[in-house]
Structure 1
């Protein structure tokens, strides 16, 4: 892959769904489909929204190891990013990715205590395309 950030970033931007992976209390991987990221900084930092009271948040608080997967069904390609997940509850982070209509999920608005930001920080990845896989690191 010539330009990892351009190839992977372009693919991320076109997907409507992100699949996040967490580790449960028994050490097993758990996968969850999420709405597309609200923001990304290159392919290193990816921001999503969720409920503070969710099972995923509880899992990430105990073990912050995480992965995120994006799949392009049309061209049968995908990318898995490995890294860590942070739970951000400060007002600046919440306001940064708040969108009109989010009150459908968070009735009290941007200050709703059940609204938080998941910040995924990637350290490496694996890209699949044309029947081949390729590992890459993220600086």
Structure 2
């Protein structure tokens, strides 16, 4: 007989019920921000949200290139993409990080700047990216997205901690 695997929804319900039964341990603002920072540091991918010309949201998974605390996150990108065009027209953006093992989530809201200067491109270049940008950091289609957060919302154990940056 094949063992049935618990779905993510079933696991979430089970864990939420355990928390309700055992009592919630309140997460204070300082701990929430510290936990949010650790979640960002162990994340390799962020869900990046942009807004199209009609005001509709678009979300895409992107590899994180570098981050500074919760305030700034950088990504490498093709300059010819729809996403770059959207950020050029409207810099409002969001990033979302999720750890399926701990159930933690982090939403950061802010703006994205499209960088094309050589200093930024070279400092954030990663060996192996020639697969995406054959001319290396000099590739005219290679650019950097610099996200600057204004606020955040950290979620864990049925609790949301909102904060400004």
User: How far does the alpha carbon of each residue in 1:46-99 deviate from its partner, in whole angstroms, 9 at most, with x for none?
Assistant: 111110001100000000000001001111110000000000000000011101
Structure 1 unaligned spans of 5+:
none
The 5-angstrom pairing of residues 54-133 of structure 1 reads 54-133=81-160
Match of 1:50 in 2: 77
TM-score (norm 1): 0.94
Is 1:30 equivalent to 2:67 in the alignment? no
Match of 1:135 in 2: 162
Q: In 2, distance between residues paired with 1:133 and 1:8? A: 11
TM-score (norm 2): 0.80
Structure 2 unaligned spans of 5+:
1-28
CA distance 1:51–1:121, shift in 2 (3 Å): same
2:66 to 32, 39, 54: 39
Q: In 2, distance between residues paired with 1:112 and 1:76? A: 39
Query: Is 2:91–2:111's contact at 8 Å kept on the other side of the alignment?
Result: yes
Query: Is 1:5–1:42's contact at 8 Å kept on the other side of the alignment?
Result: no
Structure ID, larger Rg: 2
Between structures 1 and 2, the one with greater strand share: 1
Match of 1:16 in 2: 44
Moved over 6 A (4+): none
User: How far does the alpha carbon of each residue in 1:99-128 deviate from its partner, in whole angstroms, 9 at most, with x for none?
Assistant: 110101001110101100000000001111
CA RMSD of aligned residues (A): 1.1
Relative to structure 2, which stretch is displaced further, 5-14 or 19-28?
5-14
